[in-house]
Amino acid sequence: MSWSADSTTLENGTLRERVVERVHSSGARVAFCHKTGYLRTYACFATNFGSIDDRYRIGGGSEVVLPDGVAHFLEHKMFEGVNEDAFQEFSRLGASANAFTGFNGTSYLFSCTDRFYECLDHLVRFVQEPHFTAENVEKEKGIIGQEIRMYEDMPGWRVYFNLLEGMYQSHPVSKDIAGTEETISGITAPLLDRCWEAFYHPSNMILFAVGDQSEDEFFDHADRLLSEKDLGPAPDIEKITTAENLDVAKSRVEQSMQVGRSKLLFGWKDVHPGLNGPDLVRKELVTDLVLECVFGQSGALFEKLQEANLVDDSFGGGYMIYGDVGHSAIGGDVVDPEKVVEVIKSELPGVLSQGIAEEDIDRQRRAATGQLLKSFNSLENIAGSYCSSRFMGADPFEVVDLLSKIEPSEVVDRLQEHVQPERLVSSVITPA
């Protein structure tokens, strides 16, 4: 056996979920969640390398600065093998495959109803066998350029990234995950090779599966599979973060597009360097309770906006947290974005002075608990939650218990800390 330590079990009685995880001698974290009675099995191979990882150094060496969009570009190129596209083999095996790049990581995944271990072999092997050439990299620039232009024409995408552009002065979270046509023009095959060697080492990756398979058989197979390729010792990577303060770049960003109704997003940013693990998860949960109590569709503020015919059922929001920064984003399709922001700003002083009633907090906590319990019926959600949580140093299955332990005073304090009228940023898409 090639496991470097005894197995660890993450178990939660409330969720009735159990995950066994081990660290392979290659450095990879390997984990399995058994779900009795499920016909489909879901697996992912994820790396802790996303769009915000734009600067790093290895072994105390010189700083490496990456062009915007390189993590997403690398994801695209990983599917191109020497002889064929990796999707073709998944299709022959009857599996549904995909990949995505986020701010914090990149995941390669598949789901299938049979031939699971053949699919798992293919997943791990193509991710560990990159094929970058000058020709195929240049060809990909045209393909990704089309994707970038497509997203530039999507109002929902633009209103969100315009909001981040207004919030952040220099942090890479404000930049489009795919980069721009200008930034990807500088990506080369040697650059992709260096990024793959740095961030696709098994020590920076998680192999996770969930379904009705044999636990022992999965770990035996994963052991043999990860032992096939010796990628050497783990590189000593230091990710270099970009300092950000609470001052916003712009309080308002507006863009005209072909839309029937205006789109509005507003919110606030947070800066919390050094926060990690359960503390990050708890902050996200507390802030989501604040936003739902104040701006949710069961609250007085939404009712006032709806009675004035300013918003509809598309209005809502949430809180996103990415390591050293985080932000809220609230809004939807609106008739008059200026009037909505005006009402919000006029109502906030009263909300801040009154605080949030304990019964409202308890009601929203119950609703959030129900949504979380429901979400863990999804194999895809379990895999996504597991990988993102482990990369943050948290336990994905303690989220319901953390939510139950939040005190009402924490929610009220968080309201005062986060919802500051003078730091509000708004993003508007208006009909062209």
CATH value at residue 19: 3.30.830.10
* CA separation for the pair 21, 8 (Å, rounded): 5
Model confidence at 331, pLDDT cuts 50, 70, 90, reads very high
Whether residues 221 and 280 share a domain: the answer is no
Which 3 state secondary structure label does DSSP give 77?
Answer: helix
Tell which residue, 282, 316, 310, 272, has the closest CA to residue 296: 316
Tell which residue, 266, 264, 261, has the closest CA to residue 251: 266
Whether residues 181 and 227 share a domain: the answer is yes
Among the three residues 178, 204, 239, which one is the final residue of a domain in this structure? 239
Residues 6 or more apart whose CB falls under 8 angstroms from that of 148 comprise 176, 178, 179, 180, 181, 184
Whether residues 225 and 289 share a domain: the answer is no
Whether residues 277 and 180 share a domain: the answer is no
Q: DSSP letter for 398, please.
A: G
Among the three residues 239, 274, 290, which one is the final residue of a domain in this structure? 239
* CA separation for the pair 99, 97 (Å, rounded): 7
Tokens representing 398?
């303690």
pLDDT tens per residue, range 47-95: 999 999 999 999 989 999 999 999 999 999 999 877 778 999 999 999 9
Whether residues 54 and 184 share a domain: the answer is yes
The one-letter code for the residue type at 50 is: G
Whether residues 126 and 257 share a domain: the answer is no
Of 245-254, 344-353, 392-401, 410-419, the range with the lowest mean pLDDT is 392-401
CB atoms within 10 A of CB 409: 11
Distances from the Cα of 223 to the Cα of 111, 218, 378, 397, angstroms: 20, 9, 26, 25
Model confidence at 254, pLDDT cuts 50, 70, 90, reads very high
Whether residues 335 and 426 share a domain: the answer is yes
What pTM did the predictor assign? 0.93
Residues 6 or more apart whose CB falls under 8 angstroms from that of 62 comprise none
**Is residue 374 one of the residues assigned to a domain?**
yes
Among the three residues 205, 239, 273, which one is the final residue of a domain in this structure? 239
* CA separation for the pair 349, 96 (Å, rounded): 50
Whether residues 281 and 399 share a domain: the answer is yes
**Is residue 298 one of the residues assigned to a domain?**
yes
**Is residue 247 one of the residues assigned to a domain?**
no
With 60 as the cut, is the pLDDT of residue 33 above it?
Answer: yes
The domain total for the chain is: 2
**Is residue 397 one of the residues assigned to a domain?**
yes
Tell which residue, 45, 47, 44, 46, has the closest CA to residue 112: 44
Residues 2-12, mean pLDDT to the nearest whole number: 76
**Is residue 277 one of the residues assigned to a domain?**
yes
Whether residues 223 and 271 share a domain: the answer is no
Residues 238-264, mean pLDDT to the nearest whole number: 95
Which 3 state secondary structure label does DSSP give 101?
Answer: strand
Domain that holds residue 409: 252-431
At 6 the pLDDT is 66
**Is residue 3 one of the residues assigned to a domain?**
no
148 close to 181: Cβ distance less than 8 angstroms:
yes
Whether residues 268 and 182 share a domain: the answer is no
Largest CA distance in the chain: 67
Whether residues 264 and 219 share a domain: the answer is no
Computed on alpha carbons and rounded to an integer, the radius of gyration of the chain in Å comes to 23
DSSP secondary structure of 194-220: HHHHHH-SGGGEEEEEEESS-HHHHHH
The residues that are catalytic are: 75
Identify how many contiguous H helices and E strands the chain contains and give both numbers: 15, 16
Tokens representing 264?
């509005």
Tokens representing 218?
């999965």
* CA separation for the pair 193, 70 (Å, rounded): 11
Helix/strand/coil percentages in the chain, nearest 5: 45, 25, 35
Whether residues 332 and 221 share a domain: the answer is no
**Is residue 2 one of the residues assigned to a domain?**
no
pLDDT tens per residue, range 182-219: 999 999 999 999 999 999 999 999 999 999 999 999 99
